[in-house]
Amino acid sequence: MSQQKKAFQVDAQSLLDLSQKYGTPIYVYQTDKMEKQYKRLKRAFSKLDIHINYACKALSNINVLRFFRQLGAGLDTVSIEEVQLGLHAGFKPEEIIFTPNCVSFEEIKRAVEFGVRINIDNLSILEQFGNTYGGTYPVCVRMNPHIMAGGNTKISTGHIDSKFGISIHQMRHLQRIVESYGIHVNGIHMHTGSDILDVDVFINGAELLLESARQFSNLDYIDFGSGFKVPYKPDDLSTDVERLGERMTELMEAFFVEYGKKLTIEFEPGKFLVSESGFFLAKVNVVKHTTATVFAGIDTGLNHFIRPMFYDAYHHITNISNPQGNDRVYTVVGYICETDTFAWDRRISEIREGDILCFHNAGAYLYTMASNYNSRLKPAEVLIHKGKDYLITKRQNFEDLLANQVEIEL
């Protein structure tokens, strides 16, 4: 996005015009950025038989799922409802991998009935799976390599205290269950978390996963998860996926020689594919001066944009109504009856009441984590595709709040 006053455009469509057309707050996504990220990842690993499964928990709108299916992606799902969304979007069952955590075995059985690929991350469920299906239904196992990736326990999922995955130190127990029930393990998996910047950390985790893979002689694929970091600030660092592709290619080619055959390599990016494609637009309700700071209060809150409060995440904020105004220092806050602060003491071009603020990197883990807290309504979603804007989720109305409530006489 250009910083010039007349060039706040997404695919030749003015964000300000979109805020007027659809109202605020509003999420806006651009498919061309999604496609560029997808193709960039494919190119980085082009020497390997690579398959990308879009992690739909990042942004699960049905139109986004269909777009990634058209690009050739599979689908990474973590709930039976996401499985059903994927099937509804047109993915074939074999194109969907189901990687739940702490779900009931009944949910696993439903996924088997749908015919999707199953990825199991604990020994108890694996034993139940073996007792029910034996070797008749292939399964992937998720390993925990015990490494800290991303530097934040809220987004790191491969460390020793994580609830995710089977510990690499439980391999002997895992093997006993597999052998006792004749389970066909055709895939092995890890996901160490988000915002992995250090290529060496990823390679370290990959080497640990390959050590586990050597214990299974009939694998078809290895899934290395994702967690690639995207830039959040101007001049911010991000994962060098091209360098990672070079390192992973060297590692895997050597492994294939040792293993005796080539395997499919899978990744499951979510944020990497959609985060930078998204913008969130909100209107300034009030500029409030106190003895300590100047607050810019906007028509949204943590109910629509929870990442700064939940993950301490940074999102760049641009005043697209006054992009060439002089910078001033603001604390940007929401209208929820909580401390919903988006930015403390942030330099932003002068903010006036009624201005439209644009939050960058709004494509991942925002609408999917939105709520009706304070009985606020969820915003609309708009997709920009080939220069044209499409409403893909309607703004909620008051009747939507009551839709599933059952009124009784007391």
Closest C-alpha to 53, from 270, 263, 364: 270
Dist. CA 78–CA 25, nearest whole Å: 28
- Nearest-angstrom CA–CA distance, 79 and 87: 13
pLDDT digits (tens, 9 = 90+) for 104-125: 999 999 999 999 999 999 999 9
Would you kindly state where each structural domain of the chain is located, as residue ranges?
Answer: 9-28+275-402, 31-271
- Calculate mean pLDDT across residues 234-255: 94
70-99 average pLDDT score: 98
Q: How do residues 262-289 score in pLDDT, each as one tens digit?
A: 999 999 999 999 999 999 999 999 999 9
pLDDT tens for 168-207 read 999 999 999 999 999 999 999 998 765 777 888 889 889 9
pLDDT at 2 over 50: no
d(CA 127, CA 104): 13
Q: Taken in order 163, 164, 170, 174, is the CA torsion positive or negative?
A: positive
CA 241, CA 50: separation in Å to the nearest integer?
A: 14
Quick one: how far is CA 12 from the chain centroid? 26
363, pLDDT greater than 90? yes
Task: Tell me, yes or no, if 358 is annotated catalytic.
Answer: no
From 56, 140, 337, 358, active-site residue: 337
Q: Is the pLDDT of residue 154 over 70?
A: no
The verdict on domain 31-271 having CATH code 3.40.190.10 is: no
CATH domain 9-28+275-402 topology: Lyase, Ornithine Decarboxylase; Chain A, domain 1 (2.40.37)
| Nearest CA among 370, 369, 361 for reference residue 275 | 361
C-alpha Rg value of the chain to the nearest Å: 23
For residue 6, pLDDT beyond 70: no
Burial class (CB in 10 A: 0-12, 13-18, 19+), 218: exposed
- In a 10 Å sphere around its CB, with 0-12 CB exposed, 13-18 middle and 19+ buried, how is residue 249 labelled? middle
Burial of 285 (0-12, 13-18, 19+ CB in 10 A): middle
Handedness of CA 196, 201, 202, 208 (dihedral sign): negative
CB atoms inside a 10 Å sphere around CB 28: 24
Evaluate whether 9-28+275-402 and 31-271 have a shared fold. Answer: no
Contact 227, 196 (CB under 8 A): yes
Q: For residue 164, name the pLDDT band (cuts at 50, 70, 90).
A: confident
Instruction: Identify the pLDDT of residue 233.
Output: 87
Distance CA(410)–CA(407), nearest Å, equals 9
Query: Are the beta carbons of 303 and 369 closer than 8 angstroms?
Result: no
**Quick one: pLDDT at residue 1?**
43
Encode pLDDT of 50-69 as tens digits: 999 999 999 999 999 999 99
Structure tokens at 355: 């201005």
pLDDT band per the 50, 70, 90 thresholds, residue 9: low
